[in-house]
Amino acid sequence: MNLLLIAWKNLLQRRLASALTALSIGLGVMLMVLVLVISGAVETAFTQRSIGYDLIVGPKGSDLQLVLSAVYRIQPPIENLPAMYLDELQADRRVVTAVPLAFGDVTQEGGFPIVGTTTEYFENDYLPGQKFEFGKGGSRIDQLFEAIIGADVARQNGWTLGSTFPILHGGAEGSLHDEEFTVVAVLAPTGTANDRTVFLNLESFYAIDGHEKPVDEIEKRLRDFYAADQDRLDQALAELDDYRQQLRNEEANGVAAVSPRAMQEVTAVLVKTRPETPFDAISLSAELQKGFQAMAVNPIRPIQRLMTNVIGNVQKALVVMTGLIILVSGVSIFVSIYNSMSDRRREIAVMRSLGAGRHHVFGIILAESALLCTGGAAMGWLTGHGVAVLASPWLIRRTGLLISPWTVSPWELTLFPALAVLGILVGFLPAMTAYRTNVADALNQ
Amino acid sequence: MSLILKQIRKSYRQPEGDRLPVLGIDHFELARGEQAALIGSSGGGKTTLLNIISGILVPDSGEVIVDGRNIVSMAEVVRDRYRASRIGIVFQTFNLLPAFTALENVLLGMTFSGRAVNRSFAVELLERVGLGHRLHHRPPRLSVGEQQRVAVARSLANRPVLLLADEPTANVDPANQSLILNLIRDTCKDHQVSLLMVTHSMEAATQFDRVDRLNEFNQPQLCTTGATS
């Protein structure tokens, strides 16, 4: 029998106390594993290049809000840009692709965000080098009231090709739009916010009753937006005057008015610049920065800032807290073993009388402590990942984070050696007590 | 000779600072294979003597020669291993470890000797003491007599040259006393092991050919003149 086996047998002899002590370590480790799994998912979601575009253009405001709303779809949009501005961007020689996004509504079932866009969105990479794949149906949304849905939307709502659904205006309860949309394609899982998004044809988005703002409000916005560009303002105002006339005719004669471009808006524009001249993205961004109309944001920087300043620190605080919990559990191991030492003096003396050296009994007590720590840690590690497996569908649904329950973070790799060291440290004093046991006295007890 | 004691002096430090003399033995011998009973009254130094012979306690002065080597001059770690490999001990209270089965208790006796653990010999010993069917039972599930038989098997696990028995039948019911005693004596005879049993029971001692009275050759007062520590 080796010392480890003797230590194990001793632990089994006090199985309830041993189990409770190991459990306290296990719970600490389980919490740490969960924190690390979730942190890992947050970090992956926010640190990878989250979109296959160079810039996101939106109205002036918070760059972080623009990225969170346009890419992660977890924040409300800032405001809208005139669709005419999209045309300007598309005409810019530095721009290869400018894909419009219009959003703000959600599905009635599941509350998934609605994004109005064009088929071009699905032709571009959703992540660098990653093309959209379609689980079911075609790859276009050319017709009004057609929808392409993300994989999670299909799974959670049970929607498939031909399913129809209504949408809620701006997520406000009770303001259901009249229009019904039909699923024409289901995206294959991407591990991004696209999985939780319903995409509509942009024209459908404009055609939804109630989405068109009053002409006077649009005129005011255009006057603000094009204050420094009289030619475009004049063009837009002329379109609005014509539209007002059409609306009067519609009222008088029943001839349907057709919304001019000046009446249309987009929430954000995803821009790809020429790959051969990387400076284009910088110059376009700098140009917009100077003006008062819009801003162009690098999709990575605000998120990196968020990670560094907020999320990263929260993660560190959580890891430190769970570390402290483990440390406290370590103290409970110390208390448990130390308290048992007075009851075990005779056992130790018997082993010594059988020829065990001081170093043997010292090693046995240390091994007990290390076994409790590492055994508890193994239990906690498995439970932590097990809980992550069970909770991941719920977490994905609630947060959209792509949880990988069995991914082992580098922190976890240090956990077992660290806990073995903790076990040795907390076992040292009880082991010294065993080492110093007066055999003759203890045998006479 | 299996055991020779020379000029053994042992005293204990009292809380007041002075020393309490316990043992003063000038000479004692036990031949190889010899069996002797040592009678002494309670508090007469019997257990101290066994602890000194087994190397658990170190005398203030003198020599304890077991199988030709003076264990007093050994470093503690060497003495521990020497005890494991040369000396078997049977305690009055058996001292089986409750976390281990009967077989494991015997194997534990082999673990610290530095030799390979011989499982088949451990089983053989337990079979010889009539516990072949109780190998995997823990001490709390064994009767008092059975526990002492496990202790006997454990004491012989490392094929010692000397077996020390400290009142081995004191906690055993009268029906089992002579059974245990015969078992110890017969097993020692079979393995050519010298046996020194200390007891306060004349009845147990009379079964031995050699019976010594501790108070006849122990002169604690010698400590006051010969104590070295």
Q: What digits encode the pLDDT tens for the residues B181-203?
A: 888 899 899 888 999 999 988 88
pLDDT at B228: 42
Computed over every residue of chain A, the mean pLDDT equals 86
Q: Is the ipTM of this complex over 0.85?
A: yes
In three-state form (DSSP H/G/I as H, E/B as E, the rest C), the secondary structure along B31-65 is: CCCCEEEEECCCCCCHHHHHHHHCCCCCCCEEEEE
pLDDT at A348: 93
Report percent pLDDT > 70 for chain A. 96
Q: What are phi and psi of A212, to 5 degrees?
A: -80, 130
Q: Is the entire prediction scored with pTM above 0.80? A: no
Triad B25, B27, B32: Cα angle to 5°: 125
pLDDT digit string, tens, across residues A65-88: 898 888 888 777 878 899 999 999
**Residue A428: band (very low, low, confident or very high) from pLDDT cuts 50, 70, 90:** very high
DSSP A445: -
**CB atoms < 10 A from the CB of A231, how many?**
8
pLDDT at A258: 84
pLDDT average, residue stretch A96-118:
90
Closest by Cβ to B108, choosing from A12, A354, A357:
A354
Compute, in degrees rounded to 10, the torsion defined by CA atoms B211, B193, B8, B29: 60
pLDDT at A398: 67
pLDDT digit string, tens, across residues A298-340: 888 888 888 788 777 888 888 888 888 888 888 888 888 888 8
Amino acid at the residue A429: L
What does the alpha-carbon distance between residue B117 and residue B107 come to, in Å, rounded to a whole number? 7
The answer to whether the CB atoms of A443 and B91 lie below 8 A apart is yes
Looking at chain A, which residue has its C-alpha nearest residue B78?
A: A357
Q: Cβ contacts (< 8 Å) between B47 and chain A: which residues? A: 444
The answer to whether the CB atoms of A13 and B99 lie below 8 A apart is yes
Looking at chain A, which residue has its C-alpha nearest residue B111?
A: A1
Query: What does A120-139 look like in DSSP terms, one character per residue?
Result: HHHHSEEETTEE--EEEE-S
What does the alpha-carbon distance between residue B78 and residue A442 come to, in Å, rounded to a whole number? 21
Contact B181, B168 (CB under 8 A): yes
- What sign does the dihedral A125-A128-A131-A135 (CA atoms) show? negative
Query: Residue A21 is encoded by which pair of tokens?
Result: 């002590």
For an interface test with B, give the residue of A353, A368, A444 to mutate (most B CBs within 10 A).
A353
Q: Cβ contacts (< 8 Å) between B83 and chain A: which residues? A: 353, 355
Triad A445, B6, B11: Cα angle to 5°: 40
The answer to whether the CB atoms of B76 and A352 lie below 8 A apart is no
Lowest model confidence (mean pLDDT) among A179-183, A286-290, A363-367, B98-102: A286-290
Provide the chain B residues 163-192 that lie in CB contact (below 8 A) with chain A: none
* Total beta-carbon pairs less than 8 A apart between chain A and chain B: 73
pLDDT at A400: 62
Task: Provide the β-strand partners of residue A115.
Answer: A103, A199
**Residue B226: band (very low, low, confident or very high) from pLDDT cuts 50, 70, 90:** very low
Tell me: pLDDT of A171 over 60: no
DSSP A291: S
Tell which residue, A68, A77, A152, A72, has the closest CA to residue A110.
A152
pLDDT digit string, tens, across residues A203-248: 888 888 777 888 899 999 899 888 888 888 999 999 999 999 998 9
**Residue A380: band (very low, low, confident or very high) from pLDDT cuts 50, 70, 90:** very high
Report percent pLDDT > 70 for chain B. 97
pLDDT at A47: 65
pLDDT average, residue stretch A167-190:
81
Residue with the bigger pLDDT between A83 and A45: it is A83
Provide the chain B residues 113-132 that lie in CB contact (below 8 A) with chain A: 113, 117
**Residue B1: band (very low, low, confident or very high) from pLDDT cuts 50, 70, 90:** low
Nearest-Cα distance to chain A for B156, in Å, is 11
Contact B223, B4 (CB under 8 A): no
The answer to whether the CB atoms of A10 and B99 lie below 8 A apart is yes
Q: Cβ contacts (< 8 Å) between B104 and chain A: which residues? A: 1, 9
pLDDT at A364: 94
